[in-house]
Amino acid sequence: MSRKVIIFIATSLDGYIATEDDSLDWLFKVEGEGDNGYSEFYDTIDTIVLGRRTYDWIMKVEKQNFPYKNKKCYEFTKSKYEPNNNVEFVDGDIVKFIDTLKGVEGKNIWIVGGGDLISYFLKENLVDEFIISIAPTIIGTGIPLFNKQNIEIELELKSIRRFNQFAELHYVKRQSDNI
């Protein structure tokens, strides 16, 4: 069985994953329940992919406390970075790279973000599942979860869960899209 590429992310009710200045303050004001299913999900993955802007945000906010030390992390970039023991920098064909990752035995692959990388993965039909927690907050503007693009993806609702004020929607791609 092939590994799955999964988007696990929180969004505002109006579809933003961060403000224009990359702030998540609005998200942390929402009353959740426990860790809102994070630990349960985190145990299902062993590989993380992220874009440059998300990597830069993590390095700025988390400083020396990289949050994914026990997972294999890849950052897709055209920029040059100093070597990092926690992340492998990838500058190449993303589709080929992900196809190779999916062919290697292991747990699922998590797209941490950001919006541009998610859009690219959607355009290239690389996403298998979507686990989206919706916060009861409208922020009006920011970084959208889904950029405008000319794609259509049919999904099936797998589950709905509530974590106090968060609603988690879990969708899988319809089988006809997996061909």
pLDDT per position as a tens digit, 74-131 = 999 887 777 788 999 998 899 999 999 999 999 999 999 889 999 999 999 999 999 9
Q: In what order do the strands lie in the sheet with 45-51?
A: 87-90, 72-76, 45-51, 108-113, 5-12, 129-135, 166-173, 155-163
pLDDT at 50: 94
Calculate what percentage of the chain has a pLDDT beyond 70: 97
pTM reported for the whole predicted model: 0.92
pLDDT at 179: 44
Mean pLDDT (the chain, rounded):
92
More confident residue, 48 or 79: 48
